[in-house]
Amino acid sequence: MIIREIEAKSILNASKIHDFCVNPYTGCGVGCLYCYARLFIPRYSGHAEPWGTFVDAKVNAPDVLRRQLKRAKPGNVWVSSVCDPYQPVEKRFGLTRRCLEALLEAGRAVLIQTKSARILADLALIRRFPDARVTFSIATEDEAIAGRFELGASPVAERIAALARLHEAGVKTAAFIGPILPGNPERLVERLAGVIDEALVDRLNYVYQVRGIYERLGLGAALTDAFFRERRERYARALARQGIPFQLLF
């Protein structure tokens, strides 16, 4: 893993999904094979290395964020949009935690999205936000499939256990079921019942970047529109049966 320490000029940026986003790191040690960020972050960051093998830590991010928050308009903040905020280097740098401290001081609502159970180290801090929401990305219940595509993520069982801890602590929780990977929708939803307040379901949108991987694994049928339509309906039925509010994003 190539790790660089850099200084950022801006850390609080406008988002097309939420009001703002904060990315304490450029690059991601989780290295999901399907990640859309792999299409542009290497070029944007000047890295020639493959996605998942480099991380730039924005070591001045908390200070820059505090300065920007003083003049920023009201709005919620997504942590993070193009990197996992609790990827392995967070243990070394603690930039996500320090950015959350700045956001708490400023009274901002936060939406944290991760695939890492490391978030539990900051549970006490997250509980101090009156309206924080934590979303875990869980694309399948199949540990073998998840391990092939989400190389540095926590095992699915650990993610669901982390959701349970957060939910029990009174934090709003959600599951982002996407991009849908091969697996059993009913089994996943059954395991999520009681530990999430909401689910969001989405398909894989950049099929061309993973077609070769899928075909080598004998999973080519899981890239078809028919596959995604069928899984969308199964997830919708299973979530409705469990009484879990959900959004279908495709």
- Domain containing 7: what range? 2-248
Amino acid at position 103, single letter: L
Reported as a single tens digit per residue, the pLDDT across 216-242 is: 999 999 999 999 999 999 999 999 999
CA distance 132 to 24: 18
Question: What does the pLDDT read at residue 40?
Answer: 76
pLDDT higher than threshold 80 for residue 33: yes
Question: What does the pLDDT read at residue 206?
Answer: 87
Q: Are 89 and 97 in contact (CB under 8 A)?
A: no
What size, in residues, is the chain?
250
For residue 11, what are the contacts with CB-CB under 8 A and spacing of at least 6?
22, 23, 24, 58, 61, 64, 65, 68, 99
CA distance 115 to 159: 7
CA distance 122 to 124: 6
Question: What does the pLDDT read at residue 198?
Answer: 98
Tell me the sheet residues that pair with 58: 6
CA separation, residue 93 to residues 99, 117, 126, 199, 244 (Å): 11, 17, 18, 31, 36
Question: What does the pLDDT read at residue 221?
Answer: 95
Q: What's 177's domain CATH number?
A: 3.80.30.30
- Which of the four pLDDT bands, split at 50, 70 and 90, describes residue 209? confident
- Average pLDDT of the residues in 77-97: 97
Reported as a single tens digit per residue, the pLDDT across 133-147 is: 999 999 999 999 999
Structure tokens at 125: 């801090």
Question: What does the pLDDT read at residue 208?
Answer: 86
Residue bearing the bigger pLDDT, 37 or 215: 215
Residue 88's closest CA among 122, 115, 59? 115
Reported as a single tens digit per residue, the pLDDT across 115-137 is: 999 999 999 999 999 999 999 99
In this prediction the pTM is 0.95
- Domain count of the fold of the chain: 1
Question: What does the pLDDT read at residue 50?
Answer: 85
**Which of 39-43, 83-87, 139-143, 217-221 shows the lowest mean pLDDT across its residues?**
39-43
Tell me the sheet residues that pair with 111: 78, 133
Residue bearing the bigger pLDDT, 47 or 191: 191
Question: What does the pLDDT read at residue 216?
Answer: 92
- Which of the four pLDDT bands, split at 50, 70 and 90, describes residue 213? confident
Residue 175's closest CA among 139, 127, 145? 139
Q: Within 13 Å and on the Cβ side, how many CA atoms surround 229?
A: 3
